[in-house]
Amino acid sequence: MKILIAGKGGTGKTTITSILSFILSRAGYKVLVLDTDSVPNTAISMGIPPSEASKIIPLVMNEELVEERTGARPGEGWGVFFTLNPRVDDIVDRYGVRISNNLSLVVVGSIDASKQGCLCPAIALARQFLRHVFTSRDEIIIVDSEAGAEVFGRGLAEYFDLMMCISEPTYKSLAISRKLVKLASELMVKENAIIVNKVRNIPLAKLLCEKMLNDEIPYYIVRYDKLLEDLEYEGRGLNELPDTSIVYSDVKSIVRNLMPWIKV
Ligand SMILES: Nc1ncnc2c1ncn2[C@@H]1O[C@H](COP(=O)(O)OP(=O)(O)OP(=O)(O)O)[C@@H](O)[C@H]1O
Ligand SMILES: [Mg+2]
């Protein structure tokens, strides 16, 4: 199963990615998380200490790797000849960070050409890597994507079985989420749901969702969890949250609804 976690900046994509990865891996599934943010920080949320996390080089920033596999250095743009189908089958094993027995993370970095400054060899490598992972690995794959829609770019969206669009319980945030869901379904993402996160007032959030989503898009609520705020102040991993915490129990109930074959 391939799950895309998308949504506007700061809505809680990395938080939901991490909690979901803990829940699924603890339920006995092999899980691979891919961080495709240009400012990757999923590692910290997944419990890698910040001093260690800062040493992880995103694939797209790894000059040696990019040069070895494509024949050109990151940042070299049009005009340079580079291999478009570089070897990528060993990347998870060589560059993946093992979080626990059946949970790993690969920090890919941004595949957004505009953020990388060019349509460069690094992006060709990253896209080839993603395609390879989506088509040949048997883990549950969760992609913590960058705010915006680049991950829906040509040739990747259709691999996803599910997009969870993380939203805040506001009119504007839900309006953006609605657009992202429309785009995702046009691009053949198989199933879409909106996760309304950081909810403090459930009846009000439900009213707003009913008005904005008209029963057309399924939505799920994750309540505001003060414990998260405390962890974030100290840069600690979300693995330290007790699995009785609010955010855990709400994400578990989403898993029960969206992936009923998984027992959590
Ligand atoms: N349910 C929640 N309750 C309380 N705080 C939350 C909740 N979900 C997320 N947060 C907080 O919101 C902030 C943003 O979360 P997060 O980093 O997961 O968002 P993001 O969408 O990944 O952001 P970015 O677009 O920058 O990658 C963090 O401080 C996080 O602790
Ligand atoms: Mg994030």
For residue 81, tell me if it sits in a domain. no
Cα–Cα distance for residue pair 259/150, rounded to 1 Å? 26
Q: Which of 256, 264, 188 is nearest to 220 (CA)?
A: 256
Neighbouring C-beta atoms of residue 117, cutoff 10 Å? 10
Ligand with an atom nearest the CA of residue 18? 1
For residue 107, tell me if it sits in a domain. yes
Residue 77: per-residue pLDDT: 62
7 confidence band (pLDDT: 50, 70, 90)? very high
How remote is the CA of residue 126 from the centroid of ligand 1, in Å?
Answer: 25
The answer to whether 247 and 232 have CB atoms below 8 angstroms apart is no
Please state which of the ranges 54-63, 112-121, 159-168, 202-211 shows the lowest mean pLDDT: 112-121
Domain with residue 171: its CATH number is 3.40.50.300
* Structural domain containing residue 49: 2-58+96-115+137-258
For residue 121, tell me if it sits in a domain. no
Residue 120: per-residue pLDDT: 82
53 confidence band (pLDDT: 50, 70, 90)? very high
What residue spans of the chain are helical by DSSP H? 13-26, 42-45, 50-53, 63-70, 91-95, 113-116, 121-136, 171-186, 202-213, 226-233, 246-258
> pLDDT digits over 21-34, tens only?
999 999 999 999 99
150 confidence band (pLDDT: 50, 70, 90)? low
For residue 246, tell me if it sits in a domain. yes
Q: What 3 state SS string does 46-58 have?
A: CCCCHHHHCCCCC
> pLDDT digits over 153-192, tens only?
667 888 999 999 999 999 999 999 999 999 999 988 999 9
The answer to whether 106 and 34 have CB atoms below 8 angstroms apart is yes
For residue 79, tell me if it sits in a domain. no
**Are β-strands 140-144 and 219-223 bridged in parallel, bridged antiparallel, or unpaired?**
unpaired
Q: What 3 state SS string does 73-123 have?
A: CCCCCCCCCCCCCCCCCCHHHHHCEEEECCEEEEECCCCCHHHHCCCCHHH
The answer to whether 102 and 30 have CB atoms below 8 angstroms apart is yes
For residue 87, tell me if it sits in a domain. no
Average of per-residue pLDDT across 223-238: 93
Residue 119: per-residue pLDDT: 60
CA distances from 105 to 35, 61, 162 (A): 7, 16, 19
Residue 20: per-residue pLDDT: 98
Which residues does ligand 1 sit against, CB inside 6 Å? 9-15, 37, 147, 197-198, 222, 224-225, 228-229, 232, 247
Domain count, the chain: 1
254, with CB counted inside 10 A (0-12, 13-18, 19+), is buried
How remote is the CA of residue 81 from the centroid of ligand 2, in Å?
Answer: 33
Pocket test of ligand 1: the residue of 14, 39, 108 to mutate, having most ligand atoms within 8 Å of its CB, is 14
Residue 148 pLDDT exceeds 60:
yes
